[in-house]
Amino acid sequence: MPAVLALQFRVLAALVLRETRATFGSSQIGYLWAIITPAASTVLLVIIFTAIGRHAPFGASLALFFATGILTLEFFNRLSRTLMTAFDANRALLSYPPIKETDVLFARAILVAFTYILIMGIFFSGLVALGLAGLPAHPLELMEAIGTTFLLGFGMGATNAVIFSMWESWRQVEKIATRPLFIVSAIFYVPSYLPPQVIDWLKWNPVLHTVEWMRNGYYANYDSRVLDKFYVLSVAVCLIFIGLQGERLTRRRRSGG
């Protein structure tokens, strides 16, 4: 068993390194750009909303409120879309017996997770340094929110990968289907302040719950009335099961067996 675990670790480490080079190139500029881009989108929104006189829907910092929403949503989206093409992009590698299709999923997920944890760490530290935010009020809950976002994104990404391997047009369908997430995931507003009939619809969106979880973890007195931790974790677990079980059931079809 230790030998098997050691082999699995080496396979994952090699795949993560390969994915890093394939995604960002051999220079440090590529990885730096991947960190700057999500942060820049948040800064741009803050500038636009500040220019039109918009105040933070909660707390004193508009930048912090947007960051807890945008970075969470982008973390989910990047996992979901990056994992979608994992099987197709690594088809040649899958001919090697030690490498399984689930390995390429885990490798990509690890790379995306590490990148976005770094992005969040740098961005929130920058806000603290500039006096635009304090330290997280509930660090453990914040880590739970990040972990749940990872599970949800991984489950959605694994499911997308299986569907995409069977139907290539799914990439376009998925882009259209997930576009409203920017509006319905509470990026610009506090959902608890909305009418109950609106909340009843919005709370079906699991990404909204990860955003609310993030804000519950960062702010001392956010106290979301919408957040349902059991619901979002249940959706994440179901998606992971569907994705991994779907990969197993469709493996032979993808390999031409």
Q: Which residues contact 26 (CB under 8 A, 6 or more apart)?
A: none
| DSSP letter assigned to residue 71 | H
pLDDT tens readout for residues 19-51: 777 766 655 666 677 777 777 777 888 788 778
Q: Are residues 12 and 110 in contact, defined by beta-carbon separation less than 8 angstroms?
A: yes
Most confident of 16-20, 142-146, 223-227, 250-254: 142-146
CA distances from 68 to 11, 134, 154 (A): 34, 13, 19
On the question of pLDDT at 5 being above 90, the answer is: no
Amino acid at 221: N
Alpha-helical segments (H) within 167-204: 170-178, 181-184, 196-202
pLDDT tens readout for residues 225-242: 899 999 999 999 999 999
CA distances from 81 to 108, 174, 253 (A): 11, 9, 22
Q: Are residues 170 and 163 in contact, defined by beta-carbon separation less than 8 angstroms?
A: yes
Calculate the CA 41 to chain-centre distance: 16
Average pLDDT, rounded, for the chain: 86
What 3-state DSSP class applies to 221?
coil
Binning pLDDT at 50, 70 and 90, where does residue 203 land? Answer: very high
SS (H, E, C) 206-246: HHHHHHHHHHHHHCCCCCCCCCCHHHHHHHHHHHHHHHHHH
In the numeric block, which tokens belong to residue 143? Answer: 């880590």
pLDDT tens readout for residues 90-143: 666 666 666 788 888 998 999 999 989 988 998 899 899 988 888 999 999 999
